[in-house]
Structure 1
Amino acid sequence: MTLAHTLATGYNPQLVSWNGLTFWQRYNNYEFGDYGFPKTMDLVFKLTNEIYRLADTGAYWHDNGTLLDLHQPAAQKHFYNIIHGNRDALEPKQHQTYWFYSFMYLAQVEYEQFSKVGPQVLLNYETALRDPIFYTLMKYKVLDMWNRYIVHFAAYTADDLRMVGVALVGAKVDPMRTFFKYIDIDVNNLWSEKLELNETRAIYARQQRLTHKPFSYTLDIQSDVEVKATINVYIAPKYNERAELITLTQNRENFLWLDEFEAQIKVGFNAITHPEFLKFPLQKRWSFTEMYNVINHRLENGLELPKDLHLHQMYFSRHMNIPRGTADGFAVVLCFVVTPSLNDGDMPLGYPFERVIEHESAFQVQNVYFKDAIVYHVNHNRNIVEYVKENAQYEEFDYNY
């Protein structure tokens, strides 16, 4: 991904802003201009080089002059946050705005004109994931930054991964099925006149959302010791686009974290059944109408306005945890990793797939177990009536509304 790179396939988001302006589209064979955006380009290059310097040297200087060695296992979370530029990163530094300025350059916007340009998908976090170039940036720049950093850590050996005395001898997984459910999204903020929100006058956008039916897995664990363990579950495709089996080394970056739970393992045989997170109801987000009513009620009654309307979630959203299946079945592989329970932050994110794999035999330890599985998809276009009856029990949507 360079300035000379030409994007053969364009992208039209087909979106309209609240003020009636259409979102900018990228045409076929698009060439990024290396003129007209000098300040944005200079910033992107400067930020990119600084992050690569941190990846290569590991030398991070605090504002008070002390040195932090990022090439220590406990410091991996700091490098995560530096790349992402989130609020958990170290002292605010300019390199923490890498994503922001990269999106501005890809959108061909000079940062001094940010407030004077038309709508662009890459300039809004809620729409950036629509654009295929977002994933190009993640793959060829962000992931490359991480790989430049992680090569300074030795690959895991079998002794590093082994949990002495605990053997995962088998696993059973319920059938995995994806389907589309219907949801109504409150878009009452589209009213251009004075809001008078009530049940008889409201605007909702009804759309389909990919999700999956609840499933569980049962793990058979043989243990010589009594211990509290943490079990992480990962999922990855089994074959590539040419129907070729993907090796573990090639598949390392494809393993996505699916689940994590703790279990008290006793001496002898343990059969541990764990339901997937979708069985647990999640707290809903505030709708626009709900937020409006809260604010309006407090203003009318002279009450103090709330400082935070954010509803804190206990878990990530679970409706896109597994890939969309097919009618014949999409082959995936699940990886179960049993480790001793540690304090939060002691285990690197993505362990043990966050480091380069030198020898696949290192994963042939008793506490790591790979299980083949199939993901099916329930087609909702063949018989919509039967589809609704079959899947209504898995959701809260009122089909009679």
Structure 2
Amino acid sequence: MDIKKVSSNPAFLDIKNYSVFFVYLIVNSLFVIKYGENYIIPLLSGYLVMVSGISILYIKINLKDIVYKLFFVVGVILFFLFSIYLNYNVDGNSLNVDRWSAMEIGIKAIFNGQYPYNIPDHMGRESSNLPMLIVLGMPFYLLFGSVGYLQPFTFLFFTFLIFKIFSYYRQRLAVLILLFLSPSYLWEVYVKSDLFSNFMIITGFVYLIWRKFLKMKIMKLEIVSFLSALVLLTRFSSVIPLTILLIKKFFEFSGKEKLRFIAVFIFTISALGYIFFHNAPNLEVFLEHNPLIIQGAKQPLILSLSYIGIACILSFRVKSFYDTIFWIGILLFICVFVPFIMFFFEYGYTNMIKNSFFDLSFFNMCMPFVIITVILEMFKNHNKEIK
């Protein structure tokens, strides 16, 4: 069954939907706890009651589709304007978050013919952004003078993606509501960060490749290889969705197809890599100042390799778009949750949450997949698979 044929009537929540909804609540609750200061308990309790109450009411109340359409369109317009206003009025230099400035110094360095990875940002840290992530920020820096506008326009892209995935405005509006009720996303818009937006774009890539290449078979593998290389060069963690989505198909390629895919992939990475790394003053600077070194190891290498191994196994087990984004979201969450728990036992609550020994925003990698999965599961027919 095509995604667009899924009924607009919500199904009963099964164990899968509980799991992804639970992930949604965990991630957002951590943000409430971190920024709730002296009102953690009432704020967290109120948030959980509010989200649960709105979800139950939304399932029980069924209005005409035109009503949901009106709320959807108005919600998109108002939030887009609000995010533009917020980006314009919040001074990035006053923030204790430097993702925006790390991207900005990378852009300035490339335009000035400099090496982008040994220049301090507004917090005195060096950029760890991979080349394609810096490229994504370039249009907004050139047009508006700020990379922060990446967030509002990525939001518009995400609403277009919602429109393509879901047939009914009741479903589309439900995705928007979960997005607007997500403190992890609202925090990211406020601080001009790019992680959530990065994975909104990757979610779009997953849908495009699944539909046009894996299902309809109308996309050339060279284009898939090219786009895959670009996605990998946004963040190292994108290897998880890439592996789950494509590794099975790669093994099904003929020998010549494998060579063509690999050749385009390597050429794309090499070309972008040359643009960003050829201005390194010398080999020593390159070895000491590059994204891999700057980011550093967030967890033991064996764990990182095990996630990739699990992703390979999942690639041979997923049978539908729903399966694909469900397991991408869950595995990305696990990739962050495991080191979070390890660090928590080592450093304790105060250091982890209040003193920011662990960057909670890494959880946002899974959130676009989680939100879409919740609504796909909630609104699918009984005993029918989204294929």
Larger Rg: 1
TM range (shorter): under 0.3
TM-score, structure 2 as length reference: 0.24
Higher helix residue share: 2
Higher strand residue share: 1
TM-score, structure 1 as length reference: 0.24
Where relative contact order (Cα < 8 A, 6+ residues apart) is larger, the structure is 2
